[in-house]
Amino acid sequence: MTTVTAPASLPVRRRVAELTGRHVAALQQGYLADRPKAVAAVARLRRGAGRPAGDVPDLWDLVDTGPLHDTDDGARPLREAELVRAEGAVHVALTLWAVHQQSRNTGMHRRDTREDRRGLGAAIRSTMQHGEIDEPLRKRLVRAGTAPDLTGLAQRLRDIVTLLRSHGAQLDYALLAGQLYAWQWPGGPATVRAEWGRSFHAWRGDHAPDGSQPDTPDAP
């Protein structure tokens, strides 16, 4: 049996992240503006959280992964194994975002930057008391990365995302989608767990969970 090894996957991972980012940004804008079509789409996406993409026919016309098949930019066509993993990653990221966004009037997708950390580890760390580590919560993150397959990972991440929603903690879903793609390849779980760990330790509590500057006693 031939072992499927990871291709030079950075370009594919980037395409997955960018496609997810575009989808989430458009849906989030519509949801926050209370546009009926976007609100309905988010409700449909929530029903797919924790379930394989192929098991939710209702989302087939909603999650457009067509750009993954495009080669207009000169990129080579994706192999079947890449497409399956890419489409799964987009599906999981979008459905998790829909769970996260439910009943929130602030966008729960926020891009991760060097100045404003919004990776999964940082998002979890932001829910903890300053200077303290919530070990049970940290272990949830570690456990998520040891899931047996993408569906199991999605289910474990759904529990984490529900917690983030309750705290108003934002997350970069484009970044997460790229990590979900990488996670599915041999050696991927260890790589992604390391990224989550670095993100966890990169959080410095410089911002409140909703992205604003935290209040201080002498704030105007």
Q: How does pLDDT run across 160-195, given as a tens digit for each residue? A: 999 999 999 999 999 999 999 999 999 999 999 999
The residue type at 32: L
Using CA atoms, how far residue 3 sits from 6, 172, 215, 220, in Å, is 10, 32, 53, 61
First to last CA, the chain: 67
CA distance 65 to 32: 23
Domain boundaries, the chain: 10-202
pLDDT at 2: 41
109: helix, strand or coil: strand
Tokens of 97: 């975002």
Q: Which residues pair with 171 in a beta bridge?
A: 109
131: helix, strand or coil: coil
Chain mean position to CA 5: 23
Contact (CB, 8 A) for 90 and 18:
no
* pLDDT one-digit tens code per residue, 89-110: 999 999 999 999 999 999 999 9
The topology (CATH level 3) of 10-202 is Peroxidase; domain 1 (1.10.520)
Band of the pLDDT at 74, cuts 50, 70, 90? low
Please report which helix (H) or strand (E) contains residue 154, including its range.
helix 150-167
CA distance 187 to 190: 6
Which position has the token pair 């975002």? 97
Q: How many residues does the chain have?
A: 220
pLDDT, averaged across the chain: 85
pLDDT at 219: 27
171: helix, strand or coil: strand
Contact (CB, 8 A) for 92 and 157:
yes
- Please tell me the pTM assigned to this model: 0.86
pLDDT at 5: 44
